[in-house]
Structure 1
Amino acid sequence: MARLPRWRPNGWPRQPACRSSNKTLTLQEKTNGAAPSAAPPRAARRQAYEARVRRRSNIIAGVSTTLVVLAIVTLVPLAPGWAAVKKSFFNAEVFAQTFPRLVQAFLWDIAIFLWSVPLITVIALAIALARDTKNPALFPLKLFGILYTDIFRGIPVILVVYLIGFGIPGLGLPRPWNSPYIWGTVALVLTYSAYVAEIFRSGIESIHDSQRAAAASLGLSQSDTMRFVVLPQAIRRVVPANMNMLIALQKDVALLSFIGPVEVLRQAGVFKSLLANFTPYVGAALIFLSVTIPATRYADYLIARQRRERS
């Protein structure tokens, strides 16, 4: 039979002691959630461990990167042909002479890019909606969207640029409708609209059917459901993927140099022919990197933020 606690004179029983690993707690302290002061909480130990792992990883990454950079800086100049390569590709005098003109030519790249993005967005969204339609009467539009995406995703961009950039002006159109700037932009818009349309369609299909059912239960039509429920969520989900497509578009604007527009790549080629030096191409590469690297980091930031929001 269990032994009853002995009663104190004031009528209250003495509180039994509860043993912990480092300290004796009374029953009242344990009920109130008091923790041993000597042992750190599990969350704090985990955070300290993760901090040590990150610190060690950063040190290893920094050391390895430093060693690789030092090896490149030390070994490449020891190559037998380094002097000729340095003169042809890294000529400081040629770089200073040509770089300002390359920046001016890059303004054409930016202009073509800014013309293309709104057109690509509108056309791609229309194609994605056409492919998502469930109305039998609109099946011809759905079939057109399927054929459009299959054709323009299956042809290399440079071939589309050649076919449209040389073919349509060959019809004898009056100015300015025979301009390579116009038809080069059209070639990029047609090609990238097919890719972006598939990205939009994947975002639309990622929305669960329960959202459409809930909208229908509230009395929304199919068009209103797509407009107010599905599209806002779908567009937000595909922003990082579309950012990567826009980065690729900014680089592919340079393909228009093959049909005549004097943008940065074409201007670098002109300087290369005049000066018999490849340094202008290095300058053009630096200009592209100054745009694409920040845009890529921003796209990575958007992807990481979406991952945190979903977790």
Structure 2
Amino acid sequence: MDLINTFFNWEVLVRAFPILLRGLGYTLMLGCVTIVIGTTAGLLLCLVRLYAIRPIQLLAIVYIDVFRALPILVLLILVYYALPFVGIRFDSFTSATLALSMVLAAFTAEVCRAGIQNVPKGQFEAAASLGMPFWQSMRKIILPQAIKVIIPPLTSNSISVFKDTALASVVAMPDLLKQANDAQAMMANPTPLVGAALIYLAILWPMVRLVGYLEARNQRATTR
């Protein structure tokens, strides 16, 4: 009974639930904005990595390698706490969006590169023979074929983004985890943290199953 009263106290959970919902709103908004910005920037970064002149390609490679290796928490602290020393200040939401998007762009660039390079070279040659401009051939021929390979890992990256939004509590953004911590301190009971974990599970578990479904469908398509 002590375990139930401590970690699964229904009365505490009911009192904390409105607080958790406010945090959930910030978490969903942060995750969605990050996915849109990071995915778009990652696709552009991928095209630079593949088709720009060599010096620009090298800069793109360095960016991708650095931001794939750099812990998000370290980057978030640098953006929020270090940049003000050089006169650049962002609020907590903007700092979290910037840090998460920069990392997501690096991972997305590699995912898109793998998808584009998976397209047979004959498709590129066919587009060139038709006299298609680069952007038109990408939009009408290459990317529609690459997207079949790209979607499952992109979905997996999106799940990681929503989990990583919990790090935004470090810069005092009132996301789901921050609100759960505040509710725990106010009510002297860890049940709000368990409630936050259940909310994360309810949101992310369907996305995990979606990734599995997309991967299985892609595997079936490639074996035909």
Same fold (TM over 0.5): yes
Give the equivalent residue in structure 2 for 1:29: none
Identify the match of residue 271 of structure 1 among 172, 183, 190. 183
Identify the match of residue 116 of structure 1 among 19, 34, 38. 34
Shift of the alpha carbon at 1:100?
2.3
Greater RCO, CA 8 A, separation 6+: 2
Give the partner amino acid of 2:79.
Answer: I
Shift of the alpha carbon at 1:245?
0.4
Relative to the length of structure 1, the TM-score reads: 0.68
Give the equivalent residue in structure 2 for 1:302: 214
1:271 and 1:236, CA in 2 relative to 1: closer, same or farther beyond 3 A? same
Tell me how far apart the structure 2 counterparts of residues 171 and 274 of structure 1 sit (CA, whole Å).
Answer: 36
Give the equivalent residue in structure 1 for 2:96: 184
SS at match of 2:189: coil
Between the two proteins, the alignment pairs up a number of residues equal to 223
Give the partner amino acid of 2:17.
Answer: F
User: Between Structure 1 and Structure 2, whose CA radius of gyration is higher?
Assistant: 1
SS at match of 1:242: helix
Give the equivalent residue in structure 2 for 1:254: 166
Give the partner amino acid of 1:89.
Answer: F
In the alignment, is the contact (CA less than 8 A) between 1:131 and 1:143 conserved in 2? yes
Residue 161 (1) aligns with residue 76 (2): yes
Name the structure where helix makes up a greater proportion of residues.
2
SS at match of 1:238: helix
Give the equivalent residue in structure 1 for 2:60: 145
1:211 and 1:268, CA in 2 relative to 1: closer, same or farther beyond 3 A? same
Shift of the alpha carbon at 1:172?
4.5
Give the equivalent residue in structure 2 for 1:89: 7
Summarize the alignment of residues 71-90 of structure 1 with structure 2, pairs less than 5 Å apart.
83-90=1-8
Q: 1:69-97: per-residue Cα shift (whole Å, max 9, x none)?
A: xxxxxxxxxxxxxx333222111111111
Q: CA RMSD in A?
A: 1.6
Shift of the alpha carbon at 1:277?
1.0
Comparing 296-305 with 141-150, greater Cα deviation is found at 296-305
In the alignment, is the contact (CA less than 8 A) between 1:103 and 1:287 conserved in 2? no
Shift of the alpha carbon at 1:217?
2.8
